Amino acid sequence: MAMMERIGVTKLHHHLLLLVLLLVVAAAGGGSVQAAEEDEMSGRRRRSRRRRAADVMVPITILNSAVDKGAVCMDGTPPAYTWTPGSGGGTGAGWPTERRRVCNNARTCRFRTASRHGSSDHMERRIAFTGIMSSAAADNPDFHSWNRVKIRYCDSGSFAGDAFDEGLKLQFRGQRIWGAVIQHLLDVGMASAEHVLLTGCSAGGLAAILHCDQLRALLPAAATVKCLSDGGLFLDAVDVAGGRSLRSYYGDVVGLQAVAPNLPETCTDHLDATSCFFPQNIIDGIKTPIFLLNAAYDVWQIEQSLAPNAADTSGTWRVCKFNRAACNASQLQFLQGFRDQMVAAVRVFSESRSNGLFINSCFAHCQSELTATWNGGSPALQNKGIAKSVGDWYFGRAEVKAIDCPYPCDKTCHNII
């Protein structure tokens, strides 16, 4: 049985909080419903293989009180989160959200309301916490004893929209969900947190960037508040046909979900709203310390931004984008250009001593929530794995500004294509 705001009775213990926003954006080309269903089943199989017997299954909490604030999932059901308390001497808190897609049109958005990505009625009642969310010291040495909270994703807009579509009868209330859940957590103990880390994967990595300064403003000045964006450095890149597939897709999302008012003013005061949905145009203006963890050859961006089916009409990239070994010299050169664009995008960002970087030359996407890539034989830069790099940066043990040499130099990668 799902917990109904039971955390309101059982207060957040200790003063450490890990908040995670884990989302994955949808295919820029707009696949079929059948393809979406197949992808969903494939994702379940991958998660099952990666899950270990020792993983703790954590129950859901339905936040019914948020409905009165208009903070609802796409189908009008209440938002939800999953929480596990800190232990021992833990004094921090973390927050992840599920890594799932955004939707940009009537067909894809309607489809999502029949799934956990658009309705809390369809969410799993228990999920495993692994990687940066793990409670095992061996797997997660720096954050295992923290309070860990994962916001469940059901708004399809990186927690940034605030609209109701009368024709579709769909709610896009991500910004309200963010506000309602954060206020609830503040009321039950987060207001006294001494250490907070907001993190997210994929579109959740984008959400962590968008909300980083907002969270900092709500917490005590004496608290250490930082943000980690994993696989969220989406680039406004040219695709293989010379167009900008992801820009077109993001433009639809920003318009459909009325995202513009919730974007950072440090960006919208000189750029259009769609440009300000791209992290490369936001990160230099964020005041709160941020760590960017990203694969230079981000497989989601290769498949859905650089070479989506709509741009690759001849099918030239059909094999390469799913198997790096099948790429010819011209295709590898194109991918090296994408890596160069990513490195250039973080140049000013990296000049801040408070920020951190771990950009490895792997064909991967999201590396913090899986034990294998977080700390179990993790990819390494400068002889330091991901968990150690993030921990050193967060606790100020070392400055971390690591950018890998170009592919194929890195032999520590967990490549997924």
- 37-66 pLDDT, tens digit each: 333 334 433 444 444 444 679 999 999 999
What mean pLDDT do residues 377-404 have? Answer: 97
Greater pLDDT, 31 or 60: 60
For residue 377, count other CB atoms closer than 10 A to its CB: 12
Using CA atoms of 255, 256, 258, 262 in order, give the dihedral in degrees to the nearest 10.
-80
Q: How many other C-beta atoms can be found within 10 angstroms of the C-beta atom of residue 248?
A: 15
Q: How confident is the model at residue 101, as a pLDDT?
A: 65
Q: Which of 230, 298, 312, 404 is catalytic?
A: 298
Question: Could you say which of 365, 368, 389, 404 is catalytic?
Answer: 365
pLDDT at 87: 74
**32-41, 52-61, 110-119, 384-393: which range is least confident on average?**
32-41
Going from the C-alpha of 186 to that of each of 142, 179, 327, the distances in angstroms are 23, 10, 50
pLDDT tens digits, one per residue of 202-238: 989 999 999 999 999 999 999 999 999 999 999 999 9
Say whether 202 is catalytic: yes
From first CA to last CA, the distance across the chain in angstroms is 39
Instruction: Taking residues 404-412, report their average pLDDT.
Output: 96
Residues 6+ apart with CB under 8 A from 234: 25, 206, 246, 278, 279, 280, 301, 305
**Residue 395 pLDDT grade (very low, low, confident, very high; cuts 50, 70, 90):** very high
Residue 134 has pLDDT above 60, yes or no: yes
Catalytic residue (one of 120, 156, 202, 361): 202
The least confident of 17-31, 80-94, 322-336 is 17-31
**Active-site annotation holds for 122:** no
Residue 97 in this model has a pLDDT that exceeds 80: no
Which pTM does this prediction carry?
Answer: 0.89
pLDDT at 105 over 70: yes
Confidence band, pLDDT 50/70/90 cuts, at residue 10: very low
What is the pLDDT of the chain when averaged over all its residues?
A: 87
Indicate if 298 belongs to the active site: yes
E-strand stretches of 39-114: 57-62, 80-84, 93-95
* Residue-level pLDDT at 94: 55
Looking at residue 103, its pLDDT comes to 84
Q: What structural domains does the chain harbor?
A: 56-403 (3.40.50)
* Residue 219 region by backbone torsions, left for phi larger than 0, else alpha for psi between -120 and 50, else beta: beta
* Residues 6 or more apart whose Cβ sits within 8 Å of residue 262: 160, 161, 162, 175, 210
Model confidence over 273-318: pLDDT tens digits?
Answer: 999 999 999 999 999 999 999 999 999 999 999 999 999 999 999 9
pLDDT for the residue numbered 279: 98
